[in-house]
Amino acid sequence: MGTLTGSPSKATEPLDLGRVFGNLPPFPAVALRALNVLSGTETSLRELCDLIRPDPVFTGEILRLANSPLVAFSKEMTSVMQASMLLGFRRLRRLVMTVGLRSYVEKSIAPALRGCWRHSVACAMIAERTARWNSIDRDFAYTAGILHDIGRVALATIGPQLYADLIEKASTDPAWDVLHGERDSFGIDHCGAGRLLVTAWKLPEEFIAITSRHHEPLTRAEDATEVIRLSCLLANALGFAVAGHPSLRGCAEIVAEFPESVRKHLPSAEELAAEITKEISVIESASGCAKSGQNELS
């Protein structure tokens, strides 16, 4: 049986998945616990601050982003409490989830995951925007977009070179079935891996459907999983595919799959891609130098 340390090097070696997943680094505790803080309650903002402040890395990253062009307040933010008052609960939790995924991906040694992080942010931004006209909570939709491909991170952590090879193959052949390749190499695809992870992390049940069923055919149901299916496809079509290959389906074709109530509010593909590119580059440049929480000045 394979183990986390004896990571898979060939397709024929079966993995003890329960043991391997039990040994993976956990998603940052701050971000996981932030998922359980209910928005809109009187104490929610204070609870969120209390989660962030003891964690120096999170504090540093949140403050860097809060002072970046992403937020664009004229006043410099020097503490998490001050940032929370200016940002409000929804935007603060959005930052917590973005920083959480980035720090989780950075713990993995697989360079192939850079594309995965960008794809997840793109999917989250599209999901947040489209959920607004789809009676799905936009805060939840953003978080679901951030987490939907978390199973890829798990597989890449278990077998970095093996996963990099899969991404490489997908980048040269967009028609190749990555899920099939994952099952061949790891005995499980990233949807199954995502299900195991969110179950192990005891996340709300909705995340199980999102991580494990986001590659199933479109259903036209007005639920969060369908929002993520469409957002993931549109992220690919806009140029934010995990493997960086051109999407087989164009933007117009994917946008036509959205309900009319959503379509009429969507900006052009160029505007949407520019918006996402800007946000990703701001986060990457802000995070690149955030290594500690010495920014917490008061």
Contact call for residues 89 and 127 (beta carbons, < 8 A)? no
135-164 footprint of Fe ion as x/- string (CB under 5 A)? --------------x---------------
Query: Shortest gap between Cβ of 242 and Fe ion (angstroms)?
Result: 7
Torsions phi, psi for 3 (to 5 deg): -135, 175
Query: Shortest gap between Cβ of 142 and Fe ion (angstroms)?
Result: 14
Query: Shortest gap between Cβ of 58 and Fe ion (angstroms)?
Result: 25
Residue number with CB closer to Fe ion (37 or 178): 178
Residue number with CB closer to Fe ion (139 or 149): 149
Please give the Cα distance from 53 to 92 (Å, whole number): 13
193-232 footprint of Fe ion as x/- string (CB under 5 A)? ---------------------------------------x
How many residues of this chain interact with Fe ion, rule: CB under 5 A? 2
Query: Shortest gap between Cβ of 125 and Fe ion (angstroms)?
Result: 13
Query: Shortest gap between Cβ of 194 and Fe ion (angstroms)?
Result: 8
Query: Shortest gap between Cβ of 82 and Fe ion (angstroms)?
Result: 35
Query: Shortest gap between Cβ of 215 and Fe ion (angstroms)?
Result: 6
Residue number with CB closer to Fe ion (239 or 293): 239
Residue number with CB closer to Fe ion (115 or 187): 115
Task: Give the residue closest to Fe ion by C-beta.
Answer: 232
Asked whether position 189 contacts Fe ion by CB under 5 A, the answer is no
Residue number with CB closer to Fe ion (97 or 232): 232
Please give the Cα distance from 129 to 143 (Å, whole number): 12
Residue number with CB closer to Fe ion (48 or 141): 141
Residue number with CB closer to Fe ion (60 or 115): 115
Please give the Cα distance from 1 to 14 (Å, whole number): 6
Please give the Cα distance from 287 to 103 (Å, whole number): 9
Q: List interacting residues with Fe ion (CB under 5 A).
A: 149, 232
